[in-house]
Amino acid sequence: MKINQSYKYLIAIIGFSLMMACNKTASTETAKEEEHHDETGTVELTPAQVKSAQIIFGSFEKKNLSEVITANGYTKLPPQNQADVSVFLGGIIKTIAVIEGQYVKKGQAIATFQSLEFNNIRLEKAKLTEELQQAKVSKDFLELEFARQKELSDENVTAKKTFQKINTELETVKNKIKNTENQINILDQNLLLGGNENSSALSIVAPISGYITEVKVKIGSSISANNTLFSIVDNSKMHVDLLVYEKDLFRIKVGQSVRFVLTNQGNREIIGRIFSIGKAFQNESKSVAVHADINNSTIGLIPGMYVNALIDIGKNDVETLPIDAIAKAEGKEFIFIQEAEKGEKHEHKEGEKHEESEKSVDTGVHFKRIEVKTGTAQLGFVQVSLMNEIPANSKIVTKGAYYLQSTMSNSEGGDDHGH
């Protein structure tokens, strides 16, 4: 009987050991499942955190990153879209109607000035006008005398000498009238430049439409014909001058697309097209200037901006994302997508405090980490290949991936520490 009891006790110990082993195996499998889940990873932020982190969403874009030529250059304006405003004679500035940065239209008065030289021109015109009238009176008299002496000269030899004298005087008066009229026309052109010839103040007008970039005078400034008073630029015809080296020149053609990014435009891509290729080397750089029009004419460019551009010489388009969309961790590369809201989570937390439930479910934004492989990077974009498919029309985080990865790493570190 004692042997049977000992046997039962041994069987109980063996059973208990087997049960503990099964529990341990189940725990290990659960841990592995959790570890596998964390490999992809999710992170949740409140809308306030999303706004504070300046997270931006986007999607894949097709771009040519491999069959391109990289070139540097500057934004530039043609001379027809730049103007230095000056006057044709000296004077004193009386009023100024513009400030730097102001837009003006062609022909708009931007200042006025007073000029003694202009008054002298008006006096000179009045004097010449009077001389012209006297010459015309003399011409009328001589034409009548010319006709009378012509009749007498046919009958009287002595009268021929008088006729010739009258003829010479008539020709002289005609030449004087012609020269005087030419002088008056020139003076009229000068007076026209000054506006109203009867006004004491002369207008200075804008020769082109554009923005005032410099005001070099103030009220009371003494000016002359050699002074530049204002500068105006019209940035609507901006283009870029790119320097292409000799080894790449044979691959450049008129009509090819040009792309570049400016940091002050929020990394917005600007598109252009080559319209002209230089025919001589620039200085000793062994590079040739390539001129490209800019399609986006309303983006606030100014002359002299440095650009790093890509000239498309092929059509090898690939899926790309901004470089800021890539997060790196554990020797791998990831992107984040926003997960669709799951309605059942609200029911699961219904028993919890209402405030806590609202924060984590109603207002929480969930992000899922997706592993990717990257390729060629150019102008702030990088080729991206997905390791696994993602839902169509997924909202990809194009800016703020580093913040999400840091948040996830801190959260995982906190859990580990808690264990």
Query: What are the tens digits of pLDDT across the range 311-329?
Result: 988 777 788 888 888 888 8
360 pLDDT tier (thresholds 50, 70, 90): very low
Q: Which of 154-168, 197-211, 347-361 reaches the highest mean pLDDT? A: 197-211
| Residue scoring higher pLDDT (379 or 404) | 404
Same-domain status, 309 and 335: no
CB-count exposure of residue 365 (10 Å: 0-12, 13-18, 19+):
middle
Q: Tell me whether residue 283 is in a domain.
A: yes
Q: What share of the chain has pLDDT > 90, as a percent?
A: 16
Same domain, 242 and 141: no
DSSP class of residue 100? Answer: T
Measured in whole angstroms, the distance separating CA 73 from the mean position of its chain's CA atoms is 14
Examine residue 261 and state whether it is found in any structural domain, yes or no: yes
* pTM of the predicted protein model: 0.55
Q: Tell me: do 293 and 375 sit in the same domain.
A: no
Q: Same structural domain for residues 226 and 256? A: no
Give the pLDDT score at 11: 58
Distance CA 167, CA 347 (A): 119
Domain boundary among 167, 200, 232: 232
User: Is the same domain home to 219 and 297?
Assistant: no
Shared domain check, 109 and 198: yes
Order of all β-strands in the sheet with 230-233: 82-85, 230-233, 210-215, 103-104
Do 126 and 187 meet the contact criterion of CB atoms below 8 Å apart? no
User: How many angstroms separate the CA atoms of 73 and 289, rounded?
Assistant: 9
Residue 29 lies in a domain: no
pLDDT of residue 215: 95
What is the domain count for the chain?
3
User: Are 211 and 86 members of one domain?
Assistant: yes
Both 216 and 243 in one domain: the answer is no
Residues 138 and 250 in one domain: no
- 237 pLDDT band, cuts 50/70/90, is confident
Q: Tell me which of 284, 315, 346 is where a domain ends.
A: 315
Tell me if 310 sits within 8 A of 378, measured CB to CB: yes
Neighbours of 405 (CB within 10 A): 19
pLDDT, mean of residues 65-92: 87
The stretch 371-397 carries a mean pLDDT of: 84
What range defines the domain where residue 282 resides?
A: 68-77+238-315
121 close to 271: Cβ distance less than 8 angstroms: no
Out of 253, 284, 315, a domain closes at 315
- Nearest-CA neighbor of 263 among 211, 301, 297? 301
Please state, in angstroms and rounded to a whole number, the distance separating the CA atoms of residues 218 and 209: 22
